[in-house]
Amino acid sequence: MPSKEVTSQAPKTKKNASAHPSGDKRFKVLDITMKRNQYRQDSLIEVLHKAQEAFGYLEEDVLLYVARGLKLPLSRVYGVATFYHLFTMKPSGAHTCVVCLGTACYVKGGGEIVKAVENELGISPGETTPDGQVSLMAARCIGACGIAPAAVFDGTVASKQTPEVVVKRLKEYQKTDAD
C-alpha cells in the first residue's frame, strides 16, 4: 500500500498582502514588480529602478518597503540605492514636485509642464531651486494614467495638470516660504 503522502502544508500566506498604509497606488507598481520577480533578492536593482520610475526618486519609506518585500536588510537596500548613480535619493528642496512623463501623461502635456518649470523656475528634473524651496523630478508612470497629465506635490498626486497651474503652485511655494 503506498504510503500516504504528507500534504499538510502551512496555508499559503499572501506575500506582501499588507499594502502600503498610505494607499498610494505607486506601491502597487512595486508589488507587481517584486511579484513578477518572485521576490528574489537578486532582483533588487530592477525593483529599485521601477521604484524610481514610479516615484521619481527613492526615499526611505520606499527603500523600507522594498527591503521588507525582498526580505533584505535595509542597510543593503540603502547601500545599493546610494552606490549606483542611476538612482536618486530624496531631493533636498523643502518641496518636491514630480512630473509624470509616462506615455499617457507625456501625450497629454507632461513634457510641456517640465519645459515651463525649466523656463520659469530655472530648474530641470533632478535639480533644486537655489533658494532650496523646490526640487523638480520626473517619473515614468505613477499609476494614475486616468488623470493624466499627473504630478505629485509633496507626496500628493494632482490630476490633469497644466504648465500654468504647476508653475503657479511652485512659485507660491517659493513665496510662502520666503515670507
Binding site for ligand FES (CB under 6 A): 100, 102-105, 141-145, 148, 150
- Contact in structure between 46 and 79 (CB atoms under 8 Å): no
Query: Closer CB to ligand FES, residue 49 or residue 171?
Result: 49
Query: Closer CB to ligand FES, residue 94 or residue 158?
Result: 158
Distances (CA, A) of 49 to 52, 86, 131, 165: 5, 8, 29, 29
We find the least distance from the C-beta atom of residue 147 to ligand FES, in angstroms, to be: 7
We find the least distance from the C-beta atom of residue 155 to ligand FES, in angstroms, to be: 15
Question: Could you give the CA distance from residue 135 to residue 129 in angstroms, rounded to a whole number?
Answer: 6
We find the least distance from the C-beta atom of residue 60 to ligand FES, in angstroms, to be: 23
Query: Closer CB to ligand FES, residue 121 or residue 141?
Result: 141
- Contact in structure between 102 and 140 (CB atoms under 8 Å): yes
Query: Closer CB to ligand FES, residue 25 or residue 68?
Result: 25
Question: Could you give the CA distance from residue 140 to residue 116 in angstroms, rounded to a whole number?
Answer: 18
Query: Closer CB to ligand FES, residue 91 or residue 149?
Result: 149
DSSP string for residues in 63-119: HHHHHHHHT--HHHHHHHHHHSTT--BPPSSSEEEEEE-SHHHHHTTHHHHHHHHHH
State the CB neighbour count (10 A cutoff) for residue 84.
11
We find the least distance from the C-beta atom of residue 65 to ligand FES, in angstroms, to be: 19
We find the least distance from the C-beta atom of residue 91 to ligand FES, in angstroms, to be: 19
